């Protein structure tokens, strides 16, 4: 089953989904035989599967979130209040979370309605929940919330580069897998955090893809030193774009892409609270 993106056990039935398939497959004999669920019309890019509150939830790159009660039922779209692509799903108790290209959403009513948590305007590919904390990973590294998404703290001190696409933990470390940047671990995550600082850093590259001049807009970086680097997909430095301080922690840096080969890069911003990255595509 090629390009499998999600797998979940729900009510003693094993489910899995493929990237380009219009339906999810299920098995009741430990994967020996598979049957397709009803198709989901008009969706593309099936991604995470997650069992919560008696339902199986599915995230899609186009179509948002769907749910299924059992293998023979029809899928129901669950996008009330949710906008964008759903790349990750996780639960903390009765609260359901969705990582999207517009931030982390949460639902208090088993997916019937959604609202943005305290982390918005950022793409998240990975969510991971423990008994005491929710972790979110994506274009700007890893963040943690201990109050069901109301406020978030950055865990990016020492985080080198890379787009976080998977998270897991044991009783000692949080582990983060990145796209092209390797794997990282963070210690001490099982200790509750007494005070959480709301993360306000914001980084955007426009236009993106870039064909000539492009502008990096930054906010909320504080008054400390800032270093902006462009990093190749293999982690090597392509060029330094800025090194200094930004008045009020905000600003815009214009740079010329004409001397760079076409390809996918990471814009890496290092500041006093850690490191944040975002993807940049150069086209000539």
- pLDDT 10s digits, 246-259: 888 888 999 899 88
Domain match, 91 and 164 both: yes
Domain match, 145 and 221 both: no
Domain match, 165 and 26 both: yes
pLDDT at 159 over 70: no
The Cβ-side half-sphere exposure at 105, using a 13 Å CA radius, reads 28
* Bridge partner list, 16: 7, 25
> Which pLDDT belongs to residue 201?
62
Domain match, 117 and 182 both: yes
Domain match, 77 and 156 both: yes
Q: 194 in a domain, yes or no? A: no
pLDDT at 81 over 50: yes
Q: 161 in a domain, yes or no? A: yes
Domain match, 208 and 270 both: yes
Q: Sign of dihedral through CA atoms 63, 131, 124, 181?
A: negative
Last residue of a domain, one of 187, 217, 234: 187
Percentage of residues in the chain with pLDDT exceeding 70? 90
Domain match, 98 and 23 both: yes
Q: What confidence category does residue 186 fall into, taking pLDDT thresholds of 50, 70 and 90?
A: confident
Question: What strands, in cross-sheet order, belong to the sheet with 44-52?
Answer: 44-52, 55-62, 64-68, 76-77
How far apart CA 275 and CA 157 sit, in angstroms, is 7
CATH number at residue 272: 2.60.40.1930
What's the mean pLDDT in 149-173?
77
Domain match, 157 and 219 both: no
The region of weakest confidence among 109-123, 250-264, 266-280 is 266-280
Last residue of a domain, one of 187, 219, 253: 187
Domain range for 245 is 202-282
Domain match, 170 and 213 both: no
pLDDT at 134 over 90: yes
Tokens of 27: 């098995």
Tokens of 202: 């914001």
Q: 135 in a domain, yes or no? A: yes
How far is the CA of 107 from the CAs of 30, 36, 49, 104, in angstroms? Answer: 31, 28, 16, 10
Q: How many domains does the chain fold into? A: 2
> Which pLDDT belongs to residue 177?
84
Q: 192 in a domain, yes or no? A: no
Q: Which 3 state secondary structure label does DSSP give 114?
A: coil
Question: What strands, in cross-sheet order, belong to the sheet with 263-271?
Answer: 237-245, 225-232, 263-271, 274-282
The region of weakest confidence among 6-20, 62-76, 195-209, 256-270 is 195-209
Last residue of a domain, one of 133, 159, 187: 187
pLDDT at 219 over 80: yes
> Which pLDDT belongs to residue 4?
75
């Amino acid at each position: 089953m090629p390009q499998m993106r999600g797998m979940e056990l729900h009510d003693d039935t094993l489910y899995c989904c493929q990237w380009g398939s219009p339906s999810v497959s299920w098995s009741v004999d430990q994967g020996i035989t598979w049957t397709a669920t009803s198709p989901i019309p008009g969706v593309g890019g099936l991604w995470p599967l997650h069992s919560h509150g008696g339902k199986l939830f599915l995230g899609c790159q186009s179509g948002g979130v769907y749910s299924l009660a059992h293998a023979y039922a029809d899928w129901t779209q669950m996008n009330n209040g949710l906008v964008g692509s759903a790349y990750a799903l996780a639960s903390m108790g009765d609260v359901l979370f969705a990582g999207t290209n517009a931030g982390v959403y949460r639902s208090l009513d088993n997916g019937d309605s959604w609202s943005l948590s305290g982390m918005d305007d950022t793409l998240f590919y990975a969510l991971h929940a423990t008994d005491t904390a929710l972790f979110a990973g994506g274009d700007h590294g890893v963040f943690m919330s201990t109050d069901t998404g109301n406020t978030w703290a950055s865990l990016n001190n020492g985080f080198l580069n890379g787009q976080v696409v998977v998270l897991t933990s044991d009783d000692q470390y949080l582990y983060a897998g990145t796209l092209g940047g390797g794997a990282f671990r963070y210690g001490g995550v099982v200790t509750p955090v007494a005070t959480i600082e709301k993360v306000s850093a914001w980084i955007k590259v426009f236009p993106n893809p870039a064909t000539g001049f492009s502008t990096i807009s930054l906010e909320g970086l504080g008054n400390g030193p800032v270093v902006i680097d462009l990093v190749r997909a293999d982690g090597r430095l392509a060029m330094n774009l800025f090194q200094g301080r930004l008045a009020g922690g905000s600003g815009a840096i214009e740079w010329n892409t004409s001397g760079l080969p076409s390809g996918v890069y990471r814009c890496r911003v290092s500041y006093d609270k850690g490191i944040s990255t975002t993807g940049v595509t150069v086209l000539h």
